[in-house]
């Protein structure tokens, strides 16, 4: 069974971690908290990266939750405005509310991974690529072995 980290077991562990994260020199931290220089170094190397990763993950989850909450709130508000506009017979406001609700629903779908707005460009069919390919093949005409090898690679990949 491995040894327990003396810093993790120390009652001042949180303060020591804070000092490490603030970039305070290890020797100064060791002197301040009455622990060894080497134990601070081992703790920093073995445990701080894991703690930072967990903290970053928790921060990202919180931000994602906040984003979803805000989007859901805005969606509800837009739908309420739509209902109000319809009740008043205000067609322009109703149309504007529908447009805003649609945008929010699209954003929600994108955040949830239900839609992907990234476009894909197929360069193989672009005129510039076709012309470039023809130039290469033509230039290799005097070199039959190279010409054959390049054509084989082009056909195999594109």
Q: How many domains does the chain have?
A: 3
Please give the residue range of the domain that contains residue 89. 61-111
CA atoms of 19 and 13, how far apart (whole Å): 10
pLDDT band at residue 84, thresholds of 50, 70 and 90? very high
What is the radius of gyration, based on Cα positions, of the chain? Answer: 31
Backbone φ, ψ for residue 4 (5° rounding): -75, 140
pLDDT tens track for 93-132: 989 999 898 888 888 888 777 777 777 777 777 888 888 8
Instruction: Check residue 12 and report its DSSP letter.
Output: T
- Can you give the pLDDT at residue 32? 95
**Pair 3, 27 in one domain:** yes
pLDDT tens track for 44-73: 888 887 777 677 777 777 777 777 888 888
45, 48, 15, 47: which is closest to 30 by C-alpha?
15
In a domain, 131, yes or no: yes
State whether the Cα torsion 89-90-93-98 is positive or negative.
Answer: positive
In a domain, 53, yes or no: no
In a domain, 107, yes or no: yes
pTM above 0.75, yes or no: no
Inform me whether the pLDDT recorded for 2 exceeds 80: no
């Amino acid at each position: 069974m491995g040894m327990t980290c003396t810093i993790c077991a120390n009652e001042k562990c949180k303060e020591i971690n804070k000092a490490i994260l603030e970039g305070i020199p290890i020797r100064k931290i060791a002197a301040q908290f009455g622990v060894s220089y080497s134990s601070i170094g081992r703790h920093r190397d073995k445990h701080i990266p894991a703690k930072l990763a967990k903290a970053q993950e928790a921060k990202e989850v919180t931000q994602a939750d906040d984003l979803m909450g805000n989007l859901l709130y805005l969606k509800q508000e837009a739908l309420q405005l739509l209902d109000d506009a319809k009740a008043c017979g205000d067609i322009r406001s109703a149309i504007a509310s529908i447009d805003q609700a649609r945008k929010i629903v699209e954003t929600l779908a994108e955040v949830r991974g239900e839609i992907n707005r990234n476009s894909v460009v197929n360069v193989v069919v672009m005129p510039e690529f076709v012309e470039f390919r023809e130039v290469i093949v033509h230039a290799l005409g005097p070199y039959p072995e190279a010409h054959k090898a390049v054509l084989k690679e082009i056909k195999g990949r594109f």
